[in-house]
Structure formats: C-alpha cells, structure tokens
Amino acid sequence: MGEWFIREIADTGRLRLFCFLLAFIAGFLFIRFSVRMIRRQVRWWPGNVAPGGQHIHHAVFGLVFMCVGGVGGLAIEDGASGWAATAAALFGVGAALVLDEFALVFYLRDVYWSEQGRLSVEVVFVTVALCGLLLLGLRPLGADEVAGDGLWVIVLALTLNACLAVIALLKGKIWTGVLGLFVGVVALAGAVRLARPDSPWARRRYSPGSRKEKRARVRERRYRLPVQRLGDRLSDLVAGRPSAK
C-alpha cells in the first residue's frame, strides 16, 4: 500500500489533490453529521454557533479555512512537503463547509432542509467525482495532449469537446456534461440527445406543446425520474431527508 501511494500519488504530483479530496469528504461527512445532530436536538452534541444570538453559518468558517489553506498553499514552494499537504487539506475542509451551504448562497435564503437544499449535496457529489477523476490521472479536455505536432488540430478537437460538454450542461445533463469534459464521446452523446424539459436549452428552443417538448417530458418521467429517486435516496442517507414542507 505504501509503495502504491508513493508511486501513484506522491511521485505523480497528486499529493495535494489526494489530501484535498480526503479532507473534503471528511469535512462534508462531519458537518452533515453535526447538523443532523443539531436538527434532532440531541443533548450531548453542541448546538449552533450563535454568539449574541447571531447564527453563524458554517460557510463562514469554510471561507476562512479556504483563505488560510489557499494562501498557505501558494506560499509553499515544495508541493510534496507536509506543509503543502496540510494547506491542501485545510482548503478541502473549507471547500466542504462552503459547498455544503451552496444552495443557501445560490438562492440567497435558508433552504438547507428544503428540496432546494438538495442542490448543495449534488454539487458536493459532482466535486468528489471531478477530484476522483483527476486523482486517477484523467485530465479535463485531454489537457496533457496539447503539445507537440498537430497542436492546432488538438486545440480544435479540445475546443469542440468543450463546446459539446457545455451544450450537455445547458440541456440539464449535469453528470453527462461533467464526465464529457474528460471523455469526448460522453459529451457528444449529451449534446445530441434531447434536453431535459426544464433546462435552459429546452426553455429556449422547445416551444410549449411541441413534439420535442412532449418527448422530453415523456423521457423525463420514464427514465430520469427513477434515477432521480435513487439519487435522492442516496442523498437522504448521507445528508439527511429534507423537511416535508
């Protein structure tokens, strides 16, 4: 195990990414455990931080951790040192605290335990997936290939891939768009298939009552909703069930 870590993580320059991801996951699981204990009002767990009656959201602490870890990481020259790993881990914890309240920032109101609050969990899952792909050695848009002969051909191909991934995201296919940044054929599939009915692409290009709009809603009910329900169950298991209201 030690030899694998040195060969695949340390020697490849991924130590900081590894520490960031590990700390990010640990920070997210901890803060979700904490808020669930607070929600249940258990006596043995500390409550919210509210000096003078002012509730301080944990995103505030996350921003502080991100600033300290980010600036510290920039100041450290040796990316393989223990200090660099510590700074990356601190940044990861801060990012977890901030993204756990992403929905609050997005909607500019406290939607933490509402259905809209699921957006925070989805963003966290996407972040973990992205970091995991990077840790496995994949690079978005094949960044490592932009060198040597045929540079302009490669740049054109990468630009096309990026455009396809953006189209997939506009069609409401978040996971397809994210994975498409790493695997071009996935981006192509997401770009050519029907958009989700309430996506920016569908609202702009599918007229109400049109054939495409009807097909999109049928596909949403038949294929997307079962997958969404499964994702919601996983989200509830990790982060807690939203309030009924």
Tens of pLDDT along 92-133?
999 999 999 999 988 888 888 888 888 899 899 989 988 888
pLDDT at 167: 92
pLDDT top residue among 25 and 173: 25
pLDDT band at 145 (very low <50, low <70, confident <90, very high): low
| Residues shown for the chain | 245
pLDDT at 142: 57
Q: From residue 4, how far is each of 34, 131, 135 by CA, in Å? A: 34, 19, 13
CB 190 within 8 A of CB 171: yes
CB 195 within 8 A of CB 201: yes
pLDDT at 64: 95
pLDDT in tens, 217-237: 988 888 888 888 888 898 888
CB 49 within 8 A of CB 55: yes
CB 197 within 8 A of CB 213: yes
Q: Is 92 helix (H, G, I), strand (E, B) or coil?
A: helix
Residue 74 has which token pair? Answer: 């920039």
pLDDT top residue among 26 and 221: 26
Share of the chain above pLDDT 70, in %: 92
pLDDT band at 31 (very low <50, low <70, confident <90, very high): very high
Q: Which range among 22-31, 75-84, 141-150 shows the weakest confidence by mean pLDDT?
A: 141-150
What is the SS3 assignment for 168-237?
Answer: HHHCCCHHHHHHHCCCHHHHHHHHHCCCCCCCHHHHHHCCCCCHHHHHHHHHHHHHHHHHHHHHHHHHHH
pLDDT band at 141 (very low <50, low <70, confident <90, very high): low
CB 113 within 8 A of CB 242: yes
- Report the predicted TM-score, pTM, of the whole model to 2 decimal places: 0.81
CB 113 within 8 A of CB 106: no
pLDDT at 37: 92
Q: Does residue 140 surpass a pLDDT of 80?
A: no
pLDDT at 90: 97
pLDDT at 92: 96
Q: Which distant-in-sequence residues (6+ apart) come within 8 Å of 148 by Cβ?
A: none
